[in-house]
Amino acid sequence: MKIYPQLQQISESLLQQFGSPCVVKTKSEGRYNAATGEYRLGEEVSHSAYCLFDNLAYDFSKGQDTANVQQGDVLIYLTASGQPEVNSVVEANGEQWVIINCQPIKPANTVLLYQCQGRKR
């Protein structure tokens, strides 16, 4: 169905119009090579994206075993190009936010955007 790629374009367009440009930095884990005995450090990958910040309700983690919301946490909506993960860092408007929780909004396996919980670094 062609509707989901169109919805992705619309959500990206709206986040560009009303949000801010940002960079999402994700560091991969290092790896140990048993054959050589060497440890290879993880690499940092950066993705340009657009984001929109919102207040975070304290019931955001409702249904989970632990409450992970702290005072000052924000809700960040990111374009699909951001590809955030837990522990990624979002740099926007001169501030850095660590992703605590992240879920893609993806009907029919097409990521429209990401909804993330951010904590100021």
pLDDT of residue 93: 93
The two tokens of residue 19 are 């949000």
Nearest to 113 by CA among 14, 2, 3: 14
**Domains of the chain listed by start with CATH number:** 3-120 (2.40.10.270)
Condensed to tens digits (0 to 9), the pLDDT of residues 52-82 reads 999 876 655 555 555 678 888 999 999 999 9
**pTM of the predicted protein model:** 0.81
pLDDT of residue 12: 93
- Stretches where the chain sits below pLDDT 50 are none
Amino acid (1-letter code) at residue 46: S
Say whether 84 sits in a helix, a strand or coil. coil
Name the β-bridge partners of 45: 26
